[in-house]
Amino acid sequence: MIAIGCLAPLILGAAGALAGHWLAGTAGLLWGGGGGLVAGGIFLSAVAWLARQIKHSQ
């Protein structure tokens, strides 16, 4: 389950960069990519926390 979460920063970073470039050009590419990486890191942390909670509850 965490392996899927490990790909989230890469996928969201690339998607954010593409969306940012489409919306605002080169500056948007950098901001979108950075925002996507941050969002992916938060998602990865949430998946790891959830997996740990499930493991400890059993």
Q: How far is CA 27 from the centre of its chain?
A: 19
Which pTM was predicted?
A: 0.81
Share of the chain above pLDDT 70, in %: 93
How much is the pLDDT for 32? 95
For the segment 10-28, what is each residue's pLDDT rounded down to a tens digit?
Answer: 999 999 999 999 999 999 9
What's residue 6's pLDDT? 81
Count of residues in the chain: 58
Q: Which of 26, 29, 1 is nearest to 15 (CA)?
A: 29
Express each pLDDT in 26-37 by its tens digit: 999 999 999 999
Average pLDDT over every residue of 44-56: 89
Q: How far from 17 is each of 5, 31, 33, 43, 51, CA to CA, in Å?
A: 19, 7, 4, 17, 29
